[in-house]
A and B are shown apart, each in its own frame.
Chain A
């Protein structure tokens, strides 16, 4: 195991290096001069030169990069040109928890609905229930989340009045109220995953149920529920994990749009607002942070395999 793990960590480190270089180059490519952006329209040559050296812009790129990376690692992400807020606080302390809460809530919802739907549709194969589940899966997978969010706000928020339509209450301050406010956004984000999870569960369960070890379990007289949920499910979890890992981009994409539709102060909202205002330092922080998250979650998914499949542990 240590060898495989180390190889993966090495690979990840390399990708992270690329992520950091790309994020650094991004700010270099951004139009406009950071010094004049910081000083505003009213400045003289003297203060310009002072800030230019202060920011280290007179030094070679390599030095600038290492300084920037060092500052990044130690949590010194600079300040926003617009609000003069500390970007680390803005991105990591304020925005990130919101996005993580939304994503986790949506994932739990998607698994709770998607897996049973997939199992049902595999067991009742080619019946109307299967057809319904497949139909919901196809539509859930294709429906743009920003549009679904608007429809949900309209139906459940404005029409029926069951849920608050806009705004955010931090779940870590008031868990019940927080989850209440997050429910519609989480359903919006989960819709894409429910379809995916149901389809993968259905396909791999049908595949697994044909194996002889399932027949053996049945022959031993084990109940149908136990055969499906204990024996078969273990082998369904592998392809499910693969798919979910591959679809992380979809999760982030959905999260950004969902946050904007529901006005949740998460990472997606932060990056969108910063892009609109051309606040490059904040966009850069968002790019770096989402790249980092993306790579680390992928590493975690890889580790999940060894945990789910004992054979991989023995191989290594």
Chain B
């Protein structure tokens, strides 16, 4: 019985997302980026970090489809590998923050009492810092680098996940079916996994959808500021920072990665809005 209902709930959620035109667009574009990132080594025409000073700042041509930057690096190839990095850091940091946040939220919501109070005060404290500042402070201590960036971003996502999950757990816990399962002697572990976790899952998915685009925005922003990924790693934020000085004579250097980033962020937002409308109708625009 549970298998059947579970599958239909999944299918229902999926078709509710798919029914929205803007969400379909968002999903399609994100999928295209994911494919480009996965197949970057085959799609790229040049080594993304190969510097050729004699070929620097060339406009788009047959040899360099999207031109070259001031170090003579091929922008098209860097763009592809940049997508890889952006998506890996975006999804990786959200996943990490999600695991920690969901665990804390579940623990707080299920334990109640002093444990809940203590956990939620720590979460309040984490939420008291603007994400960018929290990530920057973390990077200031750890130093720049891809893995440190993932940890820093993940840390700033723990709070939102913990808060959503806890409030959902409180609602689910009060449902008669949880009470019934407990009275029937279903082990606690199974209640948590089957009844609680499965019912708070939509909230988690919605939250993750929102956070991925913020993570990618923060990642590229921090790299743009110079505290994220270190050059010459192909990263969109770094590419925009590098091309900024040449914006009048070689607008493609900063312009192309910027457009790529903006399109991805718009698509992720459309997808996140679609997920929210489909899975969590309670929270409309107003919340």
Query: Contacting B269 at CB < 8 Å: which of A29, A138, A260?
Result: A138
Question: How far, in Å, is B225 (CB) from chain A's closest CB?
Answer: 5
Among residues of B, the one whose C-beta sits closest to the C-beta of A153 is B247
Stretch with Cβ within 8 A of B (4 or more), from A83-91, A102-110, A179-187, A242-250: A242-250
B286 touches A22 (CB 8 A): no
18 A–B pairs (Cβ distance < 8 Å), ordered by A: A18-B121, A26-B137, A146-B240, A147-B254, A150-B254, A154-B251, A202-B285, A239-B285, A242-B287, A253-B130, A253-B217, A256-B225, A257-B221, A272-B225, A276-B226, A283-B136, A287-B133, A291-B129
When the two chains form their complex, are residues B141 and A242 in contact, meaning their CB atoms are under 8 A apart?
no
Q: Evaluate contact between B213 and A275: CB separation under 8 angstroms.
A: no
Q: A275 contacts B131, CB within 8 Å? A: no
Q: Give min CB distance, A299 to chain B, whole Å.
A: 11
Contacts of A26 in B (CB 8 A): 137, 141
CB distance from B158 to the nearest CB of A (A): 13
A16–B254 Cα distance when bound, in Å, is 40
Contact with B262, one of A143, A274, A276, A287 (Cβ below 8 angstroms): A143
Q: Of all chain A residues, which has the CB nearest B218?
A: A253
Partner of B132, one of A151, A154, A256: A256
- Annotate A244-287 by CB proximity to B: 1 below 8 A, 0 otherwise: 00001100110011001100000000011011101010011011
Contact B141 A144 (CB under 8 A): no
Residue contact B221 to A253, C-beta cutoff 8 Å: yes
Contact with B along A11-50 (1 / 0, CB 8 A): 1001110110110001001110000000000000000000
Q: Does A294 contact B (CB under 8 A)?
A: yes
Contact residues in B for A294 (Cβ distance below 8 Å): 128-130
Whether B132 and A260, one on each chain, are in contact in the complex, defined by CB atoms closer than 8 angstroms, is no
Decide: B124 and A15 in contact? CB cutoff 8 A: yes
**Chain B residues whose CB sits within 8 angstroms of the CB of A142 once the complex forms:** 213, 262, 265-266, 268-269
Q: Which single member of B124, B130, B136 contacts A249 (CB below 8 Å)? A: B130
A249 and B133 alpha carbons, distance in the complex (Å): 9
Known contacts A143-B265, A204-B285; A295/B128 CB under 8 A: yes
Knowing A203-B284, A272-B225, A294-B129, say if A138 contacts B270 (CB, 8 Å): yes
Pairwise interchain contact B227-A287, C-beta atoms closer than 8 A: no
* A249 proximity list for chain B (CB < 8 A): 130-132
A177 within 8 A of B: no
Inter-chain CA distance A278–B270, complex, in Å, is: 38
- Let me know if B258 is at the binding interface, CB within 8 A: yes
Cβ-defined contact, A147 with B240, below 8 A: yes
Interface residues of B in 121-153 (CB under 8 A from A): 121-122, 124-125, 128-134, 136-137, 139-141
Nearest CB in chain A to that of B139: its residue: A275
Contact across chains for A30 and B141 when beta carbons are under 8 A apart: yes
Whether B136 and A271, one on each chain, are in contact in the complex, defined by CB atoms closer than 8 angstroms, is: yes
Does A141 belong to the interface (CB within 8 Å)? Answer: yes
For window 145-177 of chain A, which residues contact chain B by CB distance below 8 Å? 146-147, 150-151, 153-154, 158
Tell me the minimal C-beta distance from A156 to chain B in angstroms: 13
Whether B130 lies near A150 (C-beta < 8 A) is no
Q: Please measure, in the bound complex, the distance between the C-alpha atom of A158 and the C-alpha atom of B124, giving whole angstroms.
A: 44
For the complex formed, measure the closest distance between the CB of B1 and the CB atoms of chain A, giving whole angstroms: 38
A76 within 8 A of B: no
> Could you tell me the distance between the alpha carbons of A280 and B262 in the complex, rounded to whole angstroms?
33
Q: A142-B213, A242-B286, A271-B133 are in contact. List 18 more A-B contacts (CB 8 A).
A: A15-B125, A18-B128, A30-B141, A138-B266, A144-B262, A146-B225, A147-B258, A158-B247, A202-B285, A204-B286, A239-B286, A239-B287, A252-B130, A252-B133, A256-B132, A272-B227, A291-B129, A294-B128
- Cβ distance A98 to chain B, nearest Cβ, rounded Å: 16
Tell me, yes or no, whether A5 is within 8 Å of chain B by CB. Answer: no
User: In the complex, what residue of chain B is closest to A204 when comparing beta carbons?
Assistant: B286
Q: How far is the CB of A162 from chain B (nearest CB, A)?
A: 16
**Residue of B whose beta carbon sits closest to that of A141:** B269
B267 nearest CB across to chain A (Å): 8
A291 pairs with B131, CB closer than 8 A:
no
Q: Is A306's beta carbon under 8 Å from chain B?
A: no
Assess whether B224 is interfacial by the CB under 8 Å rule.
Answer: yes
CB contacts (< 8 Å) of B124 on chain A: these are 11, 14-15, 18
Instruction: Report yes or no: B213 in contact with A19, Cβ–Cβ below 8 A.
Output: no
Q: Is B244 an interface residue (CB 8 A)?
A: yes
| Residue in B141, B213, B226 with the greatest tally of chain A CB atoms within 10 Å | B141
Question: How far does the alpha carbon of A256 sit from the alpha carbon of B125 in the complex, in Å?
Answer: 21
Q: A142-B269, A150-B254, A253-B218 are in contact. Are A29 and B141 (CB under 8 A)?
A: yes
Q: Which residues of B contact A22 (CB under 8 A)?
A: 125, 129
What is the bound-complex CA distance between A261 and B244, given in angstroms? 9
Q: Point out the residues of chain B lying under 8 angstroms from A252, CB to CB.
A: 130, 132-133
For residue A94, CB closer than 8 A to chain B, the reply is: no
A115 in the interface (beta carbon within 8 A): no
Would you list which residues of chain A between 201 and 216 have a CB under 8 Å from chain B?
202-204, 207
Closest to B266 in A: A142
Most-contacted residue by chain A among B133, B136, B227 (CB, 10 A): B133
| Cα distance A42–B50 in the bound complex, in angstroms | 41
A203 to B125, alpha carbons, bound, how many Å? 32
A19-B217 contact, Cβ under 8 Å, with A271-B133, A272-B227: no
Taken together as a complex, chains A and B put the C-alpha atoms of A280 and B142 apart, in Å, by 12
